[in-house]
Amino acid sequence: GFVTVQLAPAMGLPPELPGAGAADVTTRQVWWFATVAATGWGLWLIAFGQSNFSWVFGVTALAIPHIIGAPEPDILTGPVPPEIAAHFASRSLGTGLAAWAILGASCSYFWNKGA
């Protein structure tokens, strides 16, 4: 979940501070949803594919959104220094990783408890 929903999209569209200059929100949302779908499909093909073609299609699906590229703003502006924006992005991804790890551990615990 973390790789599909947060890490892969963050490679093109890192978490942004409020007020930072950004591309059109509709364009960013379309790219984000397409990246999540392509990453999920690509990882599924790599994990459960039965042939070498599955691996090739999976890796291709993982790469396509990043080859196309995320929408970029015309002018890079913002009210804060880039160092703080980078710190915010890394903390956001770290918090997301912790949340996904807790979710996975909780699901595993309750799944095994019910069995």
Q: How confident is the model at residue 92 (pLDDT cuts 50, 70, 90)?
A: very high
Number of domains in the chain: 1
Q: For residue range 4-17, list pLDDT tens digits in order.
A: 999 899 988 888 88
Rounded Cα distance between 54 and 34, Å, is: 19
pLDDT of residue 38: 96
Residue 51 structural domain: 2-114
Q: Tell me the pTM.
A: 0.82
